[in-house]
């Protein structure tokens, strides 16, 4: 694309200065550096700036993944990549086929695109005029007298706008184009190169669903919120720190909001829960919480999801099964590694084996490069050296380790006893007489330190949790961000069988996915009421498939 043939340049000028190329004709470097828009929520944007893209382009829906690339002024013969700078942000405004004045540094008309007809078909029809384009902030220095898209590209220099969009037919000469700068004495439109096939169409009105996430700006809650937030789902982030809640909600997009709430205050919780379809509870540690959230969900008839790892909290929730049935809502508890994934792996083994197991062993492995939340560390410190009541007897937290073998890349690790609702759920499901739930870190030094703390006659509180969370930061480079959950069942005839879900990276996301999957499942109006787990509601096979299709590995032996 060093030179542009005259025929193509004339054709471009006749169609209003827009040059449409196939993705195969893109230079390799430009194809790599162009911003990619995904089909659901622009998740293919650069991770560092993706939240800004979702915030600015939240109202635009791309139904098929495409790669819009911009063609800068002054460079009519090639596609160039410019650095995105903070000062080049554009103010986006939606309007549909009507004149609007320029307000702020720039303005944009909104559109909704879907995969459809070819470029030639689109040019021949010329009937669809809802477009999305970007006007650069500030005036353009243009030594050439040619103006407007129909006159070709301006020869002067201009910086690109912060985000890239797509342009359709019927733009030049319209009142919208004139209002956006299609004249010599006003701001000028950027000319965009559209890669792949895309057809502009009218907006599809869809009802907005409201989901409340308690503790949504925390380590787990933020991961769950990013998985749930979309143009069709409005997320309310709530927590003790209202400022942090609002800041994180604004990073998700304009349709999301943040609120301050104390989850142990029944009046505050009731005021926040009202008006939401689903309540997602990620505000741990759960051993410090009362039943305010559960009562509010029953009162307002909202579905409920939590990542509860506290055995007593889950037991009390299960006792309220009839209350949720009477209210006509569903409560999904323990939607995290334990007991959601561990239970699904056990159900998968039982379905394959065809007989009931006699005993079970569950091990959760956390990669050293994963962020450690204060709530999760507090829950673990609370059980260090403390007795754990198991079906076979009494275990002690983080003592009496056992060696277990994980699939690659983790190999052999030590299983240290830890508290979990699985001690109650596995005997209820299959009648096993022995259950051992263990925990291990990827770094052997972390396992040794926790085992040492378990043997000291001390009690550990929030101050110790904050200290350990801060001290673990410098050592994160010594491991990976992966993780694994393995369930081993011991059958009378078949012996030992194991199933493991392994993530070579983003282990925390794997632990947060069950909660996001549960929240989206509860949006179905035909969801049966009652208190249960996500793997029992969806079925173990379908639930594991939802996780593995993201890229995590299922190993069965």
pLDDT digits (tens, 9 = 90+) for 22-45: 333 333 333 222 232 322 333 333
Whether 179 maps to a domain, the answer reads yes
Q: What pLDDT, in 10s, does the model give residues 264-322? A: 999 999 999 999 999 999 998 898 999 999 999 999 999 999 999 899 999 999 999 99
Q: Is the pTM of this model over 0.75?
A: no
Asked whether residue 63 falls in the same domain as residue 195, the answer is: yes
Stronger pLDDT, 440 or 146, i.e. the higher one: 440
Last-in-domain residue among 205, 231, 249: 205
Asked which of 332, 358, 389 is the last residue of a domain, the reply is: 332
Q: Is the per-residue pLDDT at 395 higher than 70?
A: yes
529 within a domain of the structure (yes/no)? no
List all residues 6 or more positions away from 266 whose beta carbon is below 8 Å from its beta carbon.
Answer: 292, 295, 296
- Contact between residue 188 and residue 147 where contact means Cβ atoms under 8 Å apart: yes
Residues 6 or more apart in contact with residue 479 via CB below 8 angstroms: 367, 368, 369, 442, 443
5: confidence class by pLDDT, cuts 50, 70, 90: low
- Structural domain of 107: 1-205
Determine the Cα–Cα distance for residues 119 and 305; give it in Å rounded to an integer.
Answer: 46
Contact 289, 313 (CB under 8 A): yes
Asked if 173 and 68 sit in the same domain, the reply is: yes
Structural domain includes residue 528 = no
User: Is 17 in the same domain as 110?
Assistant: yes
Cα–Cα distance for residue pair 445/448, rounded to 1 Å: 5
**CATH number reported for the structural domain that contains residue 472 in this entry:** 3.30.360
For residues 48 and 104, membership in a common domain is answered with yes
Are residues 508 and 223 in contact, defined by beta-carbon separation less than 8 angstroms? yes
Q: Coil, strand or helix: which one is 347?
A: helix
- Residues 269, 352, single domain; the answer is no
Identify whether residues 394 and 499 lie together within a single domain: yes
* pLDDT at residue 206, as a whole number: 55
402 within some domain: yes
Please indicate, yes or no, if residue 520 is contained in any of the structural domains: no
| SS3 of the chain: helix, strand, coil, percent, to 5 | 35, 20, 45
Is residue 387 within 8 A of residue 405, CB to CB? The reply is: no
From the CB of residue 504, how many other CB atoms can be counted at a distance below 10 Å?
A: 17
- Domain final residue, candidates 169, 185, 205: 205
The pLDDT value given to residue 411: 87
Degrees to nearest 5, angle at CA 50 with 46 and 53:
125
Does some domain include residue 531? no
342 with 472, same domain: the answer is: yes
Residue 442: helix, strand or coil by DSSP?
coil
Range 243-262 average pLDDT: 94
∠ CA 212-215-221, nearest 5°, is 85
What is the per-residue pLDDT for 466?
A: 87
Based on the fold, state whether residues 424 and 299 are members of the same structural domain. no
Residues 95 and 234 in one domain: no
- Give 48's contacts (C-beta < 8 A, 6+ positions apart): none
Q: Do the domain assignments include residue 513?
A: no
My answer on whether 414 and 502 are in the same domain is yes
The CA-to-CA distance between both ends of the chain, in Å, stands at 54
Question: Crossing angle, helix 540-548 and helix 507-521, to 10 degrees?
Answer: 130
Q: 3-state DSSP call for residue 158?
A: coil
pLDDT tens track for 52-87: 333 333 333 332 233 333 322 333 333 333 333 333
In a domain, 523, yes or no: no
Please indicate, yes or no, whether residues 139 and 258 belong to a single structural domain of this protein. no
What does 322-344 look like in DSSP terms, one character per residue? HHHHHHT-EEE---SIIIIIHHH
Q: How many CB atoms lie within 10 A of CB 221?
A: 28
Cα 219 to Cα 113, 283, 301, 412: the distances in Å are 34, 10, 28, 28
Asked if 362 and 473 touch (Cβ cutoff 8 Å), the reply is: no
Buried/exposed code over 53-64 (b: 16+ C-beta within 10 A; e: otherwise): bbbbbbbbbbbe
Burial class (CB in 10 A: 0-12, 13-18, 19+), 232: middle
* Tally of domains within the chain: 3
How many helices (H) and strands (E) the chain has is answered by 19, 21
Same domain? For 39 and 149 the reply is: yes
- The size of the chain, in residues, is 557
- Tell me: pLDDT of 225 over 50: yes
């Amino acid at each position: 694309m060093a030179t542009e043939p005259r025929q193509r340049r004339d054709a471009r000028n006749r169609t209003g200065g827009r040059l449409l190329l196939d993705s195969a004709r893109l230079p390799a470097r430009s194809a790599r550096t162009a911003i990619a828009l995904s089909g659901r929520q622009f998740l293919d944007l650069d991770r560092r700036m993706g939240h800004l893209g979702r915030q600015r382009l939240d109202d635009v829906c791309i139904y098929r993944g495409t790669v819009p690339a911009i063609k800068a002024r002054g460079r009519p013969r090639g596609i160039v990549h410019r650095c995105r700078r903070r000062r080049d942000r554009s103010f986006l405004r939606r309007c549909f086929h009507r004149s609007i004045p320029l307000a702020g540094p720039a303005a944009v008309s909104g559109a909704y695109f879907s995969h459809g007809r070819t470029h030639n078909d689109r040019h021949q029809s010329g009937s669809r005029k809802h477009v999305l384009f970007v006007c650069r902030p500030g005036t353009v220095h243009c030594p050439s007298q040619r103006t407007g898209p129909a006159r070709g590209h301006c020869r002067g220099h201009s910086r690109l706008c912060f985000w890239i969009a797509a342009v359709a037919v019927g733009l030049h000469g319209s009142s919208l184009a004139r209002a956006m700068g299609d004249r010599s004495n006003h701001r000028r439109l950027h000319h965009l190169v559209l890669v792949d096939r895309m057809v502009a169409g009218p907006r599809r009105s869809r009802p907005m669903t409201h989901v409340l996430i308690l503790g949504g700006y925390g380590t787990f809650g933020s991961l769950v919120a990013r998985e749930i937030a979309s143009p069709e789902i409005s997320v309310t982030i709530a927590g003790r720190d209202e400022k942090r809640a609002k800041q994180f909600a604004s990073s998700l997009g304009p349709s999301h909001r943040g609120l301050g709430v104390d989850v142990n205050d029944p009046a505050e919780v009731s005021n926040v829960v009202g008006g939401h379809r689903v309540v997602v509870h990620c505000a741990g540690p759960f051993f410090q919480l009362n039943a305010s959230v559960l009562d509010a969900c029953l009162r307002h008839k909202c579905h409920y999801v939590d990542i509860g790892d506290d055995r007593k909290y889950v037991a009390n929730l299960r006792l309220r099964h009839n209350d949720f049935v009477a209210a006509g809502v569903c409560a999904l508890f323990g939607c995290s590694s334990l007991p959601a994934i561990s239970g699904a792996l056990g159900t998968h083994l039982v379905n394959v084996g065809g007989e009931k197991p006699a005993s079970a062993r569950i091990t959760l492995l956390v990669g050293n490069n994963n962020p450690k939340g204060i709530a999760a560390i507090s829950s673990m410190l609370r059980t260090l050296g403390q007795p754990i009541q198991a079906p076979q007897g009494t275990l002690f937290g983080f003592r009496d380790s056992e060696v277990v073998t994980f699939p690659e890349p983790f190999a052999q690790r030590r299983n240290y006893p830890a508290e979990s609702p699985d001690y109650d759920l596995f005997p209820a499901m299959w009648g096993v007489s022995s259950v051992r739930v263990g925990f291990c870190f990827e770094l052997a030094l972390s396992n040794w330190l926790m085992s040492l703390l378990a043997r000291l006659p001390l009690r550990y509180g929030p101050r110790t949790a904050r200290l350990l969370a801060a001290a673990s930061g410098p050592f994160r480079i010594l491991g990976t961000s992966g993780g694994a959950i393995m369930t081993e069942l011991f059958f009378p005839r078949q012996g030992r069988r194991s199933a493991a879900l392994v993530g070579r990276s983003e282990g925390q996301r794997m632990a947060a996915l069950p909660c996001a999957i549960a929240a989206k499942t509860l949006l179905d109006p035909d969801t049966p009421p009652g208190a249960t787990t996500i793997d029992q509601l969806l079925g173990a096979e379908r639930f594991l498939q939802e996780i593995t299709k993201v890229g995590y590995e299922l190993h069965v032996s």
